C-alpha cells in the first residue's frame, strides 16, 4: 500500500467510466484481492466484501446529525455520495475479536490460523485514509508490532475517494485529513455526475496502482476535467458545518482538567462506549482465556475494549477512573491531546462518527469549543473569583 512506493512525479490523471469502476472490482478480484467497499444493508451504508459492482450504493445518500443517521435516496446515481457510516476499515485491519493462541487436548501450543487475506479497500475517504495511517503507526511500527496486523497492512490496496459533499457532522478540514485524500492511496477517485455523464477522475499514488489502472479501459483526463474535479473537492472543505477549535488542544485539555464542563458532559454521557467502537483509530483491546472441559481445548482471545468500561482502568484494589466524568475526560484528552505525545499526531481524523452514533448526541467539536470558552472566561475573571 501507498506511502512506501509512492510516485515522486504523479502521472496525468485518468478518467474511468461508471462501468469501468465495476471492472476495477473484477480486476482486483482476479489479482487475488478481497474487495471491500460500501453497500446498503439494514437501513445503512455499511462496509462489506463486494461480489460485484452491482452491490455498490448507487443513488444512495445519508442524512446525519448528533445521535442521528438516516439512509435517503439521492437525485442522481452517485456511488460515493454519502458520508461515513457506522463502520470503519479498522474492523478488517484490527478485527474486533481474534484468537491469539490455543492448546490441543494434550496441552501442546497451537498458534492462531494464519490469515493470508489481501484486502482491497474501495471508497476510502480522506479521513479514513488518515485513520488507516494512524492505526498503522500504533499497531505495526512500535517496538513490539503485531505480526498478523502488519501482514494485513503490507498486503493492502487502497482506492481512496475525494469528498465533494461533506456530511452534516464532518469536520475533516479542520483536522487536515480531508476532504482531499492525502498520501497513502494506490488509486484516488473523484466522482463526477453531471450532464457530461458519470465518471471518475483517477489519480495514481503507487506503482501497484499504476499497474492495476493499466489493466482497465481508461483515457487521460483533460486539463479542464482535472481542474473542475479538484475545485469541487476544495469547495467541499469550505462547506463543512463543524470544525475543531483553532487552539493548542493539548495545552487546552491539560489546563482544563478541572473545568466544570466535565460535570455537564458526565450528566449526559451514558458511558456506553459507542464513540470508541465506531472511532476509526481507537485501538484498545483486552484479552480473555476460554476453556472447553469437554475436549480439553483452551485458548486466548483478544477483543476490542473501551476506556469507558469501568473495568478498563482496574488495577489491584479498584478502578482508577470510577466516574463517567473521568472516563470521558480520559477519552477526549487522549484522542486530542496525549495521542500527540505517544504517536506524533492527533487521534481524531474528523470523520464525525462519534457524533452520529452517540445515543445522546454529544458532539466532540462542541465540547472542545465549550472547554476553550470555559478557559477563556476563567482567565478573564478577577483574581478573587478564580
Residue span of the structural domain in which 19 resides: 14-239
Residue 177 lies in a domain: yes
Residue with cell 445515543: 359
Determine how many CB atoms are found less than 10 A away from the CB of residue 37. Answer: 22
Residue 339 lies in a domain: no
Cα–Cα distance, 70 to 220 (Å, whole number) = 37
For residue 384, give the DSSP letter: G
Cα–Cα distance, 91 to 89 (Å, whole number) = 5
Cα–Cα distance, 36 to 49 (Å, whole number) = 4
Q: 33: which 3 cell numbers?
A: 484481492
Residue 338 lies in a domain: no
Q: Give me the residues paired with residue 200 across strands.
A: 16, 191
Cα–Cα distance, 121 to 157 (Å, whole number) = 6
For residue 10, name the pLDDT band (cuts at 50, 70, 90).
low
Residue 230 above 80 pLDDT?
yes
Cα–Cα distance, 131 to 175 (Å, whole number) = 12
Least confident of 21-35, 248-262, 351-365: 248-262
Residue 189 lies in a domain: yes
End-to-end CA distance of the chain: 53
Task: Find out whether 370 and 362 touch, Cβ atoms under 8 Å.
Answer: no
Burial class of residue 266 (count of CB atoms within 10 Å of its CB; 0-12, 13-18, 19+): middle
Contacts for 266 with CB less than 8 Å, ≥ 6 apart: 323, 324, 325, 328
Residue 308 lies in a domain: no
Number of domains into which the chain is organized: 1
Q: Comparing C-alpha atoms, which of 4, 257, 244, 261 is closest to residue 140?
A: 4
Of all residues in the chain, the percent with pLDDT exceeding 90 is: 79
Task: Find out whether 28 and 157 touch, Cβ atoms under 8 Å.
Answer: yes
pLDDT digits (tens, 9 = 90+) for 93-110: 999 999 999 998 888 899
For residue 180, give the DSSP letter: S
Beta strands in the chain (DSSP E): 14-17, 34-41, 44-49, 60-65, 68-73, 97-103, 109-110, 119-124, 157-161, 187-194, 197-204, 219-220, 285-292, 297-304, 314-315, 318-319
Burial 73-108 (b: 16+ CB within 10 A, else e): ebeeebbbbbbbbbbbbbebbbbeebbbebeeeeee
Q: Classify strands 318-319 and 314-315 as parallel, antiparallel or unpaired.
A: antiparallel
Residue 384 above 90 pLDDT?
no
Residue 329 lies in a domain: no
Task: Find out whether 15 and 213 touch, Cβ atoms under 8 Å.
Answer: no
Residue 368 lies in a domain: no
Residue 386 above 90 pLDDT?
no
Q: What is residue 381's predicted lDDT score, i.e. its pLDDT?
A: 44
pLDDT digits (tens, 9 = 90+) for 168-200: 999 999 999 999 999 999 999 999 999 989 999
Q: Give me the residues paired with residue 288 across strands.
A: 301
Burial class of residue 353 (count of CB atoms within 10 Å of its CB; 0-12, 13-18, 19+): buried
pLDDT digits (tens, 9 = 90+) for 33-77: 999 999 999 999 999 999 999 999 999 999 999 999 999 999 999
Residue 166 lies in a domain: yes
Top pLDDT among 15 and 147 is at 15
Task: Find out whether 133 and 140 touch, Cβ atoms under 8 Å.
Answer: no
Task: Find out whether 384 and 263 touch, Cβ atoms under 8 Å.
Answer: no
Determine how many CB atoms are found less than 10 A away from the CB of residue 230. Answer: 16
Cα–Cα distance, 140 to 151 (Å, whole number) = 9
Amino acid at each position: 500500500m501507498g506511502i512506501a512506493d509512492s510516485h515522486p512525479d504523479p502521472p496525468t490523471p485518468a478518467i474511468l467510466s461508471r462501468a469501468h469502476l465495476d471492472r476495477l472490482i473484477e480486476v482486483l478480484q482476479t489479482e487475488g484481492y478481497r474487495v471491500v467497499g460500501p453497500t446498503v444493508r439494514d437501513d445503512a451504508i455499511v462496509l462489506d466484501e463486494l461480489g460485484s459492482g452491482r452491490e455498490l450504493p448507487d443513488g444512495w445518500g445519508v442524512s446525519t446529525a448528533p445521535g442521528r443517521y438516516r439512509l435517503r435516496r439521492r437525485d442522481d446515481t452517485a456511488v460515493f455520495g454519502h458520508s461515513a457510516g457506522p463502520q470503519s476499515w479498522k474492523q478488517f485491519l484490527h478485527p474486533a475479536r481474534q484468537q491469539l493462541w490455543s492448546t490441543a487436548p494434550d496441552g501442546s501450543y497451537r498458534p492462531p490460523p494464519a490469515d493470508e487475506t489481501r484486502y482491497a479497500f474501495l471508497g476510502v475517504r480522506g479521513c479514513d485514509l488518515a485513520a488507516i495511517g494512524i492505526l498503522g503507526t500504533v499497531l505495526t511500527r512500535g517496538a513490539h508490532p503485531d505480526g498478523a496486523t502488519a501482514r494485513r497492512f503490507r498486503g493492502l490496496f487502497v482506492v481512496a475517494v475525494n469528498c465533494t459533499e461533506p456530511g452534516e457532522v464532518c469536520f475533516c478540514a479542520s483536522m487536515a485529513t480531508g476532504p482531499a485524500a492525502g498520501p497513502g492511496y494506490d488509486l484516488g477517485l473523484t466522482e463526477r455526475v453531471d450532464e457530461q455523464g458519470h465518471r471518475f477522475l483517477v489519480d495514481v499514488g503507487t506503482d501497484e496502482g499504476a499497474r492495476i489502472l493499466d489493466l482497465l479501459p481508461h483515457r487521460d483526463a483533460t486539463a479542464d476535467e482535472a481542474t473542475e474535479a479538484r475545485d469541487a473537492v476544495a469547495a467541499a472543505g469550505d462547506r463543512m458545518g463543524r470544525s475543531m477549535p483553532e487552539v493548542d488542544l493539548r495545552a487546552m485539555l491539560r489546563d482544563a482538567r478541572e473545568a466544570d464542563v466535565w460535570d455537564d458532559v458526565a450528566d449526559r454521557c451514558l458511558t456506553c462506549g459507542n464513540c470508541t467502537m465506531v472511532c476509526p483509530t481507537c485501538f484498545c483491546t483486552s484479552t480473555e482465556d476460554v476453556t472447553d472441559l469437554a475436549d480439553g481445548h483452551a485458548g486466548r482471545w483478544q477483543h476490542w475494549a473501551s476506556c469507558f468500561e469501568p473495568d478498563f482502568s482496574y488495577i489491584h484494589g479498584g478502578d482508577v477512573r470510577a466516574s463517567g466524568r473521568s472516563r470521558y475526560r480520559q477519552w477526549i484528552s487522549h484522542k486530542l491531546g496525549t495521542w500527540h505525545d505517544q504517536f506524533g499526531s492527533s487521534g481524531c481524523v474528523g470523520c464525525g462518527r462519534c457524533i452520529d452514533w452517540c445515543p445522546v448526541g454529544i458532539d466532540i467539536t462542541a465540547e472542545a469549543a465549550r472547554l476553550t470558552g470555559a478557559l477563556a472566561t476563567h482567565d478573564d475573571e478577577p483574581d478573587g473569583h478564580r
